[in-house]
């Protein structure tokens, strides 16, 4: 990425972090949480920050993040090295509580910021779309009927993407019902992540 494009990314990130588009709908107020740089090789895309992430401003700084780091076989220092890893959720702010768990990510981020931000991450080699909303955006018509079918078809999305279920403790039932994921998919995921980050 040339200096002009890198400056454009830096300016866009500043604008995103100052965003107040859906302030009226956010129970804890706006606090956009994301990490990105021009040199990032891996892009992790989840749903939206939870309350712990909102409080700290650090993405995946909770039990879900601990499990995600286990899945990708990565320590905290590496995971939070934004020179190598971009973390861009579908919604940048905590959206509040829903019927079960957190509410869906606010659509304003997807409509306003993602079409401008993602194309600037030109060095990304692998995208990890985590959960329904990220898979809908990044896989589009290529995703399957259900999240389980999409994750089970992880081989179909190589080499650019590797769809994942949400690593939330609430999803323990899904992991127990789908033992193939940690048996077959996780080792392949770890290898794909290593390949994406190789040669830094």
**1 pLDDT above the threshold of 60:** no
Of 69-73, 98-102, 111-115, the one with minimum mean pLDDT is 98-102
pTM: 0.95
Q: Average pLDDT over the chain, rounded to whole?
A: 95
The enclosing H or E element of 127 equals strand 126-129
Question: pLDDT band for position 200 (50/70/90)?
Answer: low
Q: In whole angstroms, how far apart are CA 176 and each of 94, 172, 180?
A: 28, 6, 9
Interatomic CA distance for residues 15 and 32, integer angstroms: 10
Average pLDDT over residues 120-133: 97
pLDDT 10s digits, 31-74: 999 999 999 999 999 999 999 999 999 999 999 999 999 999 99
The percentage of residues in the chain with a pLDDT greater than 70, rounded to a whole number, is 96
Domain extents for the chain? 3-197
Going by their DSSP bridges, the two strands 85-87 and 126-129 should be labelled as unpaired
**4 pLDDT above the threshold of 70:** no
Task: List, in order, residues 6 or more apart from 148 with CB less than 8 Å away.
Answer: 165, 174, 178
Predicted pLDDT of residue 38? 95
Of 29, 69, 27, 17, the C-alpha closest to 46 is 69
The enclosing H or E element of 77 equals helix 76-79
With tokens 């090789």, the residue in question is: 41
In terms of phi and psi (left: phi > 0; alpha: psi -120 to 50; beta: otherwise), the region of 10 is alpha
With tokens 């606090």, the residue in question is: 31
Topology of domain 3-197, per CATH?
Answer: Uracil-DNA Glycosylase, subunit E (3.40.470)
Predicted pLDDT of residue 88? 98
Predicted pLDDT of residue 2? 55
| 100 C-beta neighbours (distance < 10 Å), count | 6
Of 27, 29, 16, the C-alpha closest to 108 is 16
Interatomic CA distance for residues 176 and 31, integer angstroms: 34
Question: pLDDT band for position 101 (50/70/90)?
Answer: confident
**113 pLDDT above the threshold of 60:** yes
Q: State the sign of the Cα–Cα–Cα–Cα dihedral 149, 59, 73, 137.
A: positive
């Amino acid at each position: 990425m040339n200096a002009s494009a890198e400056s454009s990314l830096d300016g866009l990130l500043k604008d995103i972090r100052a965003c107040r588009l859906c302030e009226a709908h956010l129970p804890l107020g706006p606090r956009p949480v994301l990490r990105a740089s021009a040199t990032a090789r891996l892009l992790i895309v989840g749903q939206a920050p939870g309350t712990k992430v909102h409080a700290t401003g650090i993405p995946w700084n909770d039990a879900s993040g601990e499990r995600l780091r286990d899945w990708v076989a990565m320590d905290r220092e590496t995971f939070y090295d934004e020179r190598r890893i971009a973390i861009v959720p579908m919604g940048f702010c905590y959206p509040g509580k829903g019927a079960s768990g957190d509410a869906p990510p606010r659509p304003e981020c997807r409509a306003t910021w993602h079409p401008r931000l993602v194309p600037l991450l030109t060095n990304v080699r692998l995208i990890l779309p985590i959960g329904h909303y990220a898979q809908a955006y990044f896989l589009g018509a290529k995703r399957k009927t259900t999240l389980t079918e999409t994750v089970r078809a992880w081989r179909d999305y190589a080499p650019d993407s590797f769809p994942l279920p949400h690593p939330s403790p609430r999803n323990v039932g899904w992991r127990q019902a789908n033992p193939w994921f940690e048996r077959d998919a996780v080792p392949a995921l770890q290898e794909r992540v290593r390949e994406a980050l190789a040669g830094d």
